[in-house]
């Protein structure tokens, strides 16, 4: 399996050649040359596989330049009951017949990003060791992504993580989760500023190409293709959990921000999984909902991004969206490059009235939007009707999913975080804090390890130099 760029400017490259890279050299995103097609016979055979065996089958199709025995070992070390709470890894529960929740947040940081990041940690360590190289991951976080990356990379040989976070701006729970890590290869840096300052510092360092090359600076952001493949597995697992035969169709509803999670559902569908609809659920930051309703893709300036109570979906543009548009326009890199020439210049594009817009339904996509008031109402209703507490992001997915529910078609809503991470909004909705999962009861009391820094690009460079 070779990979291409959505903008046509990358020679065919095997999986390990794109694993550590961010954008393709032409500014596009890597995509498989074609999707591996799963026959009905294969689907039937996969139905009874455990999570690890299923992950191995799917990864083998996309990562075929890693020897099978090595890949098997990586999968077996990643998806353990110890890391994910059970051998199911992503269990499914039923709220009522035909309405299901796919639990993706049983990993070490209680959010769905662990499913992909835990794999990335082991893949990075493996490939770096093979090459005798090291990597310094530099990132900025306002909470979720940073902690998932740190818990994935802690103790990994050849990898250091330098994570910038805004001082005093994260919840006590999130702060404790990140800063309590004592691993020698994890560096938490509390910046005296806001999240955008942290992000600007990362950009400035990455734009210093000489520094970037000398210190082998890398990232683990959501455009990483391996993260996407990792997420394909649970669409299959979820499908098998709620169907009996392989002709049945299922609809998935996905709380969406950067379009990584739901893009994995698109890949599963392209491989042949009988998915009826993919519901793209957004919060008030509805750039994706607007596109799927109207054909207009209008990136917001970062100042126009609302800070919401489902903060992990607060985005101005959806960084993986270009991957789907590549498929939508018949994989013509010239069309994609043209569209993103406008987007990258801060503009927009509009597919309304084009044949591309007419094809949207062929891909199963529909969308919905949820506000703070909707979120509170959904959390209350799910709690009242089923005795279940869901987190704010999952509530957005449930709201949009239920709007698109059809009789006779199982609806699977993806749970992307545990309510304990967003206690303030749960308190607002239900009048009490959510229960803490076992092992997290006293997390705020743990000793912390972090450094404080001004908004100063030279200071972070010196810090990295000093710790390499």
Ligand X SMILES: *Cc1c(COP(=O)(O)O)cnc(C)c1O
Q: Is 238 a residue that touches ligand X (CB under 6 A)?
A: no
Pairing label, strands 365-369, 92-96 = unpaired
Smallest gap from residue 413 Cβ to ligand X (A): 12
Residue tagged active-site, from 113, 156, 317, 399? 113
Q: Which of 10, 115, 201, 313 binds ligand X (CB under 6 A)?
A: 313
Nearer to ligand X by C-beta: 269 or 393? 393
Smallest gap from residue 238 Cβ to ligand X (A): 16
Residue ranges of alpha helices (H) inside 10-169 are 15-18, 40-46, 51-62, 68-78, 81-84, 113-131, 144-153
Neighbours of 101 (CB within 10 A): 23
Nearer to ligand X by C-beta: 224 or 261? 261
Q: Name residues contacting ligand X, limited to 133-152 (CB under 6 A).
A: 144
Smallest gap from residue 340 Cβ to ligand X (A): 18
Exposed/middle/buried for residue 451 (C-beta within 10 Å: 0-12, 13-18, 19+): exposed
First to last CA, the chain: 35
DSSP string covering 347-395? -EEE-TTSHHHHTGGGGTEEEEE--HHHHHHHHHHHHHHHS----HHHH
Q: Is 115 a residue that touches ligand X (CB under 6 A)?
A: no
Smallest gap from residue 282 Cβ to ligand X (A): 9
Smallest gap from residue 311 Cβ to ligand X (A): 9
Chain centre to alpha carbon of residue 272: 22
Tell me how many residues contact ligand X (CB under 6 A): 17
Kindly indicate which of the ranges 258-266, 335-343, 369-377, 433-441 contains the residues binding ligand X, using the contact rule CB under 6 A: 258-266
Nearer to ligand X by C-beta: 158 or 311? 311
Q: Give the residue nearest to ligand X (CB).
A: 260
Q: Is 261 a residue that touches ligand X (CB under 6 A)?
A: yes
Q: Which of 5, 30, 258, 378 binds ligand X (CB under 6 A)?
A: 258
Q: Which of 158, 193, 238, 257 binds ligand X (CB under 6 A)?
A: 257
Nearer to ligand X by C-beta: 328 or 335? 328
Smallest gap from residue 398 Cβ to ligand X (A): 13
Cα distances (angstroms) measured from residue 191 to each of 123, 148, 173, 207, 222: 30, 19, 18, 19, 22
Q: Please choose, from the candidates 49, 123, 115, the residue with its C-alpha nearest in 3D space to the C-alpha of residue 83.
A: 115
Q: Which of 142, 222, 251, 425 binds ligand X (CB under 6 A)?
A: 222
Nearer to ligand X by C-beta: 160 or 237? 237
Strand partners, 140: 164
Q: Which of 52, 103, 113, 156 binds ligand X (CB under 6 A)?
A: 113
Q: Give dist(CA 349, CA 376) in Å, integer.
A: 33
Smallest gap from residue 31 Cβ to ligand X (A): 16
Smallest gap from residue 279 Cβ to ligand X (A): 12
Smallest gap from residue 261 Cβ to ligand X (A): 4
Q: Give dist(CA 43, CA 60) in Å, integer.
A: 15
Strand residues in 120-196 grouped as ranges (E): 135-140, 159-166, 186-191
Q: Name residues contacting ligand X, limited to 264-303 (CB under 6 A).
A: none
Kindly indicate which of the ranges 174-182, 238-246, 251-259, 405-413 contains the residues binding ligand X, using the contact rule CB under 6 A: 251-259
Exposed/middle/buried for residue 454 (C-beta within 10 Å: 0-12, 13-18, 19+): exposed
Token pair for 254:
């996905």
Q: Is 113 a catalytic residue?
A: yes
Q: Which of 78, 219, 253, 256 binds ligand X (CB under 6 A)?
A: 256
Under 8 Å between Cβ of 190 and 451: yes
Nearer to ligand X by C-beta: 113 or 266? 113
Q: Name residues contacting ligand X, limited to 403-462 (CB under 6 A).
A: 416-417
Kindly indicate which of the ranges 40-48, 107-115, 118-126, 403-411 contains the residues binding ligand X, using the contact rule CB under 6 A: 107-115
Q: Give dist(CA 3, CA 202) in Å, integer.
A: 27
Cα distances (angstroms) measured from residue 40 to each of 237, 251, 268, 272, 362: 15, 19, 14, 8, 20
Token pair for 286:
């509805």
Kindly indicate which of the ranges 92-100, 105-113, 130-138, 343-351 contains the residues binding ligand X, using the contact rule CB under 6 A: 105-113
Pairing label, strands 30-32, 2-5 = antiparallel
Q: What are phi and psi for residue 368, nearest 5 degrees?
A: -160, 165
For Cα atoms 54, 58, 63, give the angle at the middle one, nearest 5 degrees.
Answer: 135
Q: Give dist(CA 233, CA 54) in Å, integer.
A: 7
Q: Give dist(CA 248, CA 286) in Å, integer.
A: 31
Kindly indicate which of the ranges 25-33, 110-118, 380-388, 402-410 contains the residues binding ligand X, using the contact rule CB under 6 A: 110-118
Binding map of ligand X across residues 368-387, x = CB under 6 A, - = no contact: --------------------
Nearer to ligand X by C-beta: 335 or 366? 366
- Contact residues for ligand X (CB under 6 A)? 111-113, 144, 222, 255-261, 312-313, 393, 416-417
- Which residues are annotated as catalytic? 113
């Amino acid at each position: 399996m070779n990979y291409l760029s959505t903008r046509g400017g990358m020679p065919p490259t095997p999986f390990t050649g794109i694993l550590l890279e961010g954008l393709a050299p032409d500014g596009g995103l890597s995509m498989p040359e074609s999707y591996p097609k799963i026959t009905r016979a294969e689907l039937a055979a996969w139905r009874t596989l455990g999570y690890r065996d299923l992950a191995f089958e799917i990864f083998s199709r996309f990562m075929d330049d890693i020897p099978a025995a090595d890949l098997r070992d990586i999968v077996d070390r990643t998806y353990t009951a110890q890391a994910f709470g059970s051998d199911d890894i992503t269990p499914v529960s039923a709220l009522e017949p035909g309405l299901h929740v796919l639990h993706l947040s049983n990993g070490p940081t209680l959010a769905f990003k662990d499913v992909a990041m835990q794999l990335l940690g082991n893949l990075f360590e493996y490939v770096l060791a093979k090459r005798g190289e090291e990597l310094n991951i530099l990132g900025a976080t306002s909470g979720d992504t940073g902690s998932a990356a740190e818990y994935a990379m802690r103790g990994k040989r050849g990898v250091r993580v330098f994570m910038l976070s805004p001082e005093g701006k994260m919840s006590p729970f999130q702060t404790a989760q990140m800063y309590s890590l004592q691993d020698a290869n994890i560096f938490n840096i509390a910046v005296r500023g806001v999240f955008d300052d942290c992000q600007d510092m990362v950009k400035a360092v990455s734009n210093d190409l000489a520094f970037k090359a000398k210190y082998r600076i890398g990232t683990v952001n959501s455009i990483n293709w391996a993260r996407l493949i990792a997420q394909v597995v649970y669409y299959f697992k979820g499908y098998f959990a709620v169907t009996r035969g392989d002709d049945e169709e299922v609809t998935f509803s996905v709380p969406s921000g950067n379009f990584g999670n739901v893009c994995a559902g698109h890949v599963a569908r392209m491989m042949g999984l009988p998915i009826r609809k993919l519901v793209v659920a957004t919060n008030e930051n509805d750039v994706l909902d607007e596109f799927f309703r109207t054909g207009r893709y209008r990136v917001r300036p970062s100042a126009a991004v609302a800070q919401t109570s489902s903060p992990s979906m607060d985005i101005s543009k959806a960084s993986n969206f270009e991957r789907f548009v590549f498929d939508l326009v018949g994989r013509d890199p010239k069309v994609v490059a043209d569209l993103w020439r406008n987007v990258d210049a801060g503009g927009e594009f509009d597919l309304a009235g084009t044949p591309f817009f007419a094809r949207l339904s062929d891909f199963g996509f529909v969308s919905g939007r949820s506000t703070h008031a909707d979120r509170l109402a959904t959390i209350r209703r799910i709690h009242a009707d089923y005795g279940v507490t869901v987190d704010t992001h999952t509530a957005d997915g449930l709201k949009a999913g239920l709007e698109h529910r059809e009789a006779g078609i199982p609806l699977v809503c993806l749970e992307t975080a545990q309510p304990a991470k967003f206690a303030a909004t749960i308190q607002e909705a239900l009048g009490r804090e959510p229960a803490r999962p076992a092992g997290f009861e006293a997390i705020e009391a743990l000793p912390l390890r972090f450094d404080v820094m001004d908004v100063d690009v030279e200071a972070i460079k010196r810090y990295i130099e000093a710790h390499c």
